[in-house]
Amino acid sequence: MVSKEDRKSRKFGVLVLSKIADRAKTLLDEAVTLVVTRIGAEASPSRAEVAAARCVVLACLPALVLVPLTLSFFQGVAVALPLGVAIVAGLFLIAVVAALWLARLSSRQPAIRHSLDTSASIDLSLFPGMVFTLDAQARVETVGGRDARDFLPFLRNPLGRPFIDQVHVTDRIAFVRAFDALRQGEDIGRVKLRLARPTNAHSEGSNGENLHGEITSDEAADGTLMAVGLDMAVRRDERGGIAGIFVQMLDCREQQQMAQRLVKLDADLQTANEAKSRFLAAVSHELRTPLNAILGFSDILMGDYFGRMEDERHREYVRLIRQSGGHLLSVVNTMLDMCRIEAGRYELLVEPFSLSQAIHDCENMLALQAQEKGVKLTSRIGRDVSELTADPRAVRQILINLVGNAIKFTEPGGVVTVDAARFGKDLVISVSDTGIGIAQDRILLLGQPFVQVDSDYNRKFDGVGLGLSLVKGLVALHGGTFLLTSREGEGTVVSITLPIDGSGIARVQSTGESRQIEFPPRLPVSERQPGRERLDGSKSEILGSDRAGLAQSSRQHQMDEVCFEEGAGQTHEQQGSGQPGQRMGQQKDVNDDAKAKIA
């Protein structure tokens, strides 16, 4: 009878032997993996290879004892032992290599058979274009496809031939790159290239037959090119290698022709746009001369240089002529400025100036207009706002357009506020109103020349829709940003951000953007919209009547000198007209930019 101690000893011995066997198995697997990777395998050893290596090891273990023992009968132990071990080690290495090769070969056969079966089961004629399969060396194996006949004139008998031979020589690098990406692990690939018609009469082989045994014609021998697109999908074996590549080739000539037509159409549009700009500039210049005469003579009549007009109706007619002429001149000025910006010929005269003074000047010019409309005009300027390096005339044009539009689209009793504050190296100017607002689906329409939100013939607000385009162009020339937020029925807030030191102008000029600004300009959107409560030391000023000093302006009406403010403030207090601000207020219509409430 076996005692408990003997059973425990046996169990312990079995446990020790099993652990030794597991450890030996682990070491064997690691050794096999190391050997396989050292001999250049593409992946880790398969189960079949590991099993074959284990069998070789098990077979060599008895030989490691028997061979030296057998040799000891013929040689001394000192010679037989190392010689036997060396013989067994050599045979072991040879057996391992042979076993791995056989295991790898046997594992490939099912994959190859599966690949062939899969390829044979696919009906290539169902696919549009031309469909073919490639092997790992990019040689064509099978060809089919619903439109294969359309591609045959551009191919030399492709079966068994590398596909790169069919590609136009200048596009072969693109094909090599796409194919190399598949080798590196990509599963799909796309490439566009060209096929060239063979220059010989029979393009499908020396016997003049194509893939279907049909005689080819000489019409394929004209050397023309065919633009095609290749969609490639990889089929991989269990090791991750390329078992085959499924390729669909589609004719891209129509797409290429469409792209060429689009390029030509774009060039035609550019030409038409330039012609439009030249036309507007020419018309504006032609209108300026008679307008100068009209304004000059109306000024003379209003000034009573040749005697006082007794009939009050005459004075009213002259006032209307002066008012309408001033409005038309301001529109002409805006058109010319817009054409200059678009053509890259708007020259900025950059200098430091007081922004607060520019805002006050704008308020004075538009104060009468606000009073007549019943709108309260206020400004709030931060204490840290001092000088701005920019073009003073351009900044005043921006302010007049923004404020003028805010007044125009604000109902009586509303409020228009101009805010200015400094944020780091930038100066933010915001013009807000409590007007009619803009519908969200109409905001994207703003900024295009001659476009207003309300463009019907029976629209309520006048104007030609040029002010917003001009504002955006001027902001773009200064390297600034533009932001508009609006809610229909509640009001609109327009914010522009300009670099205080004028660095934005230098940046735009260095990139060449200053030479030509696209209309509508595509401006970067400011990410900041400072609230009114953030303005440091803001104060409100309710502007009353206009100031006499700003009411007087030059009587010169040359185009190069007239800007919005100049065209708006031409009154003659010194001549006793008695209506200093009235003429000035009416000419704000230069802004007449679409309700487009500056966006």
Residue corresponding to tokens 């538009």: 366
Q: Does some domain include residue 229? A: yes
Range of the domain at 33: 16-120
Domain shared by 112 and 189, yes or no? no
* pLDDT value of residue 584: 31
Confidence of residue 207 (pLDDT cuts 50, 70, 90): very low
78 or 541: which carries more pLDDT confidence?
Answer: 78
Higher pLDDT, 187 or 462: 187
Mean of the per-residue pLDDT values for the chain?
A: 72
What integer pLDDT is reported at residue 125 of this predicted model? 72
Same domain? 74 vs 215: no
- Please give the Cα distance from 553 to 567 (Å, whole number): 8
Query: Domain check: are 146 and 99 in the same one?
Result: no
Whether 553 and 469 map to the same domain: the answer is: yes
Report the side by side order of strands in the sheet with 130-134.
Answer: 140-144, 130-134, 242-251, 225-236, 188-196
DSSP secondary structure code for residue 205 in this structure: -
333 domain residue, yes or no = no
Which of 210, 227, 251 terminates a domain? The answer is 251
Contact between residue 393 and residue 349 where contact means Cβ atoms under 8 Å apart: yes
Q: Alpha-carbon distance 268 to 275, whole Å?
A: 10
395 shares its domain with 518: yes
In tens, the pLDDT along 369-422 reads 899 999 999 999 998 888 899 999 899 989 998 998 899 889 999 999 999 999
Q: What is the CATH number of the domain that holds 405?
A: 3.30.565.10
443 and 555 fall within a common domain: yes
Say if residue 370 is in the same domain as residue 483: yes
Residue at 98 is within a domain: yes
**Residue 395 maps to a domain:** yes
**Pick from 21-30, 143-152, 196-205, 236-245: least confident:** 196-205
Q: Are residues 55 and 143 in the same domain?
A: no
Q: Are residues 567 and 470 in the same domain?
A: yes
Instruction: Evaluate whether residue 140 is within a structural domain.
Output: yes
Per residue in 235-293, pLDDT (tens digit) is: 888 778 888 898 999 888 888 888 889 999 988 888 887 887 778 778 777 887 888 88
Helix axis angle for 4-38 and 77-121, nearest 10°, is 70
> Among the three residues 231, 251, 271, which one is the final residue of a domain in this structure?
251
Q: What pLDDT score does 26 carry? A: 76
Q: What residues contact 353, with CB distance under 8 A and at least 6 apart?
A: 387, 388, 390, 392, 395
Whether residue 129 sits in one domain with residue 98: no
For residues 146 and 131, what is the distance between their CA atoms, to the nearest angstrom?
Answer: 8
Give the type of residue at 187.
Answer: D
Asked if residue 293 is part of any domain, the answer here is no
In a domain, 353, yes or no: yes
Q: Which position has the higher pLDDT, 15 or 398?
A: 398
Last residue of a domain, one of 251, 273, 289: 251
Side chain identity at residue 74, one-letter code: F
Whether residues 144 and 228 share a domain: the answer is yes
Highest mean pLDDT, choosing among 309-323, 377-391, 583-597 = 377-391
> Among 112, 114, 151, 113, which Cα is nearest to 131's?
151
Q: Are residues 428 and 521 in the same domain?
A: yes
Residue 172 resides in a domain:
yes
Residue (of 66, 59, 99, 61) closest to 81 by Cα position: 66
Question: Percent of the chain having pLDDT more than 70?
Answer: 64
* Chain centroid, CA 586 distance in Å: 43
Q: What is the 3-state secondary structure (H, E, C) of 379-431?
A: EEECCCCCEEEECHHHHHHHHHHHHHHHHHCCCCCCEEEEEEEEECCEEEEEE
* Number of domains present in the structure of the chain: 3
CATH number, domain at 209? 3.30.450.20
